[in-house]
A and B are shown apart, each in its own frame.
Chain A
């Protein structure tokens, strides 16, 4: 029953996406909305039904696989088109369809003046289908398929405004980096296939322990999986595509590049925790990468002027927290944060979208200020989101982040390192998010005021912002410190219990809560001092630490380094091959062959003088030789 519903959840967005994509011409907006949004609503409703169905089962009876048909059977390896419904995938389904539905609703108004309304919803539905396939897949093959399809959908939506060269370039960058991740994932699948002889989740995870704890094979599998996760989740050093991905429409940024797709890496590690549990080294590498990412991204977010880029870097940083958590083995904490982040980051993006929409595609903070008066809904959404992400007690981010950090504190030396970085990150997060809030919604209006005045959103856009704003508050109450652990309990059948699994203890929670609240309030206070109280102060302080700030402003110059190290030399090498190697080598072989044939032909050709008598001479020569040979043979014979 659960699996049958899950199949429907999976297929409905696909069907509506295909119908929309294949619709001849541009259908009326009402039809597009009905198909595009209705399908997600159906999926969401059925996901809830699946969830309720599973709730009725005992905790150890919540995992079902269902196979549609034998997709391929090759050299002893069978791959079925199958899905796996278990607490983890159901949780992801709920997030994807729930947040997805709200964002679809929002898009109905946000995109209504766009020429390609239909194409937008077709792509968004394709994305929801792909993401569901990713989380529901029952084996590594279809995980990879879903993994790549979300990349494709992301590509299509980043490059949605395909006439802008920047959007096109950003889409390409995102796609190529995601392909690098795909390659990692594919290699991991190869290794699993070679060592365990199967691509099926159940068999692979069951056989994982046979590979031996801390063996090189397990480490290799984990690191290759993490290459895939890092590319999708924008972790250092594969993070550079995400800020550029903000070229896409804002709802896309909210759904794909904040709430769901970028957290797929977290899902992947939790899903494959059977491998990560076996290798402490792999887990530590993941955690450290996550920690570095969260800190690096937070420093970059401090100075971004584009409102969406602030949020993008914030996303990189927040996903860093999650990756750090799951790397340390705090799987439930990571998933909790994933969910909470989906709520508050979506709220932030949608609120930012309201602002952008109201200001007619203005995204620069320099051209904002004092919007509090005009855009109450956006103010609410942004405010709730900022309070949540900064970790103010009572909001979702507070509980989620503290859950992560309190777990980390139990994780040995690396855990403590991660804890310190996380606390530092919490301070920076509060600082840059409230900078955004103060600069956009407080202070004076930009010079000359707003022409025309910002128009508030209608209910299509307002409802999702408000709902997500509320969720940013209450969403965290599912898992509270000191014993209320709904998320951990729900995920227990998936994550299991063991020495590698981290859970917070009372002591660490107390320490973490105190320190992080201090940090958050400190960050907010500094933001108020710098940006809120006196808008002129930041201009007066602009001369401080120009050099380091320039580096941070350039996102630590990753893009430039990649261009210098990979892109440019590659391009030059390719050019050399095209202009030098190709004519000399492969073409040279041909030229040589042709020259040889031509030379031989010329030799033969010169004998064909066209003079009959010359031919007669040749004939005579033949006769002469034949005669001499005949004479010699006769002489020899007698």
Chain B
């Protein structure tokens, strides 16, 4: 069975069904959405079960020529970098769909669910695409459902936020399209064959200058999507104006698209270019860490706080990828999953509090723990994971990211540690500001904000996943090792890293004799 293709097609089919449902068929819409998303989850579990942990290249590949004349194909598969992201996507979307079904918007409910399904299909396509054009199609396609969700069901400033979200991210993507085409054409000069398959491009030596320019084209798009400082301007408005369920999906899953692209395309396809852009990108990531933390410290609402903290957290992930270190990169892959879970949980807590009290304003909340002790416990878990308390799942990723960074550039790790300290400050501000102190802005000691069974359905699985990763991260990392090593190896060779740091010696080393490790003293 072409499971990976089904992974994309099933939610797409669900979206089509939901799209033609009349707006009043709310029960049927819920059913279709839940069945669609659960089926997708089941398929993703099958994909994970069939996954071969020791295989470095894409596996379970479904290949179909799409536009043969242009070398474009439907090529989807999974590898160690994407496998957990696929599972994260299906899990988070399952929980998100449940949350959406619990509070389906009064207006055009089925359409709301249809767009969520569409977004899921697009993201799964993005994480599995093995062809650059396909990647680009899903990259842009993903914007549409999210933008419409913000545009139609968002807060007061939904139009502005939706517009900025679309225009800004699309402006960046256009450069990527140019870079994609340029890359394929340049590769054609070398191989004599036009192909947009990523694996075909990995063997091509572009030369340092070309590589740098092409990578820069991709980086703009990635930087906006990640978002890397100072390209994060769309984030606060989108996160605070989107319906909260959509914010969960944006923060948990969509924010991984940029860093995923960096590791899937940027590093392995343009190893010669990384060296020139390593320090600038790393500095932007570091600024993002400190800057995001500072803004999170002073942010007026919970949503903004978590949103800015995401800027900081993604700075860590970018840092882990860009320094080209095996430990850091594997930490980064793990941290993508961790951040997905933690951000989803954090926004889910925000959702529970906002629903119970009617506000997400930090100044108007306080002392909820008395009436909502169960929520306080869940929130505490989330807080500790978000500030990466040692022993939490996020700490595992952060520890190995920074450990790897420290190996290569110790000063970067030291600066990044500032973000670790600030994380404690702003996350405690959020936790204590809402849960502790004298009760504020709520009646009934905040009992209305208590976590009920319907909230627990969403929060408890997330917390269980956090505990799982905290207790045994090896179970995830074991699957990512081979692919991450393969993705990094060319860049490590190009950078002239010591041989013992390199996981696998890439075939292309022979193509670029100037950087052959054997000749290095």
**Which A residues contact B (CB, under 8 angstroms)?**
21, 69-77, 119, 141, 144-145, 147-149, 151-152, 156, 159, 162-163, 165, 168, 171-172, 175-176, 179-180, 182-183, 186-187, 189-191, 193-194, 570-571, 573-575, 577-578, 582, 585-590, 593-594, 597
Contact = CB atoms under 8 A, between A and B. Distances in A.
B396 interface: yes
B468 to A, nearest CB: 13
Interface stretch (B3-11, B433-441, B507-515): B433-441
Contact of B390 (A144, A193, A594): A144
A145 B406 contact: no
Interface string B408-433: 00100110010011001100110010
A569 B399 CA distance: 29
A72 B396 contact: yes
B326 interface: yes
Contact of B327 (A75, A141, A163, A186): A75
Contact of A176 (B390, B424, B474): B424
Given A575-B298, A586-B232, A589-B233, A74 B327 contact: yes
Nearest to A184: B417
B478 interface: yes
Contacts of B389: 148-149, 151-152
Given A141-B399, A168-B436, A187-B414, A593 B167 contact: yes
11 contacts: A75-B326, A75-B503, A144-B390, A145-B395, A148-B395, A162-B369, A162-B435, A163-B439, A176-B421, A570-B294, A578-B294
A590 B473 contact: no
Most buried by A among B229, B380, B396, B481: B396
Given A74-B330, A74-B481, 6 more contacts: A21-B377, A75-B404, A159-B436, A165-B437, A183-B421, A187-B417
B155 interface: no
Contact of A587 (B163, B233, B373): B233
A190 B402 contact: yes
Contacts of B387: 179
Contacts of B406: 187, 190-191, 193-194
A81 B327 CA distance: 19
Interface in B226-260: 229-234
B318 interface: no
A162 B166 CA distance: 43
B158 interface: no
Interface string B384-403: 10010111000110011011
Given A586-B230, A589-B230, A590-B234, A168 B421 contact: no
Given A593-B171, A594-B164, A71 B474 contact: yes
B280 to A, nearest CB: 17
B291 interface: yes
A190 B406 CA distance: 7
Given A168-B436, A176-B424, A577-B295, A72 B390 contact: no
Contacts of A168: 432, 436-437
Contacts of A69: 472
A149 B391 contact: yes
B171 A597 contact: yes
Nearest to A176: B424
Nearest to B472: A71
A215 B389 CA distance: 31
A186 B399 contact: yes
Contacts of A193: 403, 406-407
B299 interface: yes
A570 B477 CA distance: 37
A248 B417 CA distance: 29
Contacts of B331: 74
Contacts of B164: 590, 594
Contact of A172 (B231, B298, B402, B428): B428
Contacts of B299: 578
Contact of A163 (B380, B390, B436): B436
Contacts of B396: 72
Contacts of A187: 406, 413-414, 417
Contacts of B428: 172, 175-176
A165 B37 CA distance: 45
Nearest to B300: A578
A212 to B, nearest CB: 19
B425 A70 contact: no
B502 to A, nearest CB: 10
Contacts of B429: 172
B370 interface: yes
Contacts of B230: 585-586, 589
Contacts of A189: 403
B229 A74 contact: no
Contacts of B297: 570-571, 574
Given A162-B435, A179-B421, A574 B295 contact: yes
A585 B407 CA distance: 33
Most buried by B among A74, A77, A593: A74
Contacts of A70: 474
A189 B229 CA distance: 29
A74 B477 contact: yes
B168 interface: yes
B80 interface: no
A514 B230 CA distance: 67
B470 to A, nearest CB: 9
A21 B374 CA distance: 10
Contact of A152 (B295, B325, B384): B384
Nearest to A582: B295
A21 B380 CA distance: 13
A602 B319 CA distance: 40
B291 A179 contact: no
Contact of B298 (A71, A148, A574, A597): A574
B436 A586 contact: no
B367 interface: yes
B330 A172 contact: no
A192 B50 CA distance: 38
A76 B503 CA distance: 9
Most buried by B among A72, A149, A163, A587: A72
B167 A594 contact: yes
A168 to B, nearest CB: 5
Given A159-B436, A172-B428, A175-B424, A72 B295 contact: no
Contacts of A141: 399
Contacts of B384: 152
Most buried by B among A144, A187, A577, A586: A586
B473 A72 contact: yes
Shortest Cβ-Cβ A-B pairs, 6 listed: A148-B390, A75-B327, A586-B233, A75-B326, A590-B233, A162-B436
A73 B396 CA distance: 12
Nearest to B398: A186
Interface in B467-500: 472-474, 477-478, 481
Contacts of A21: 377
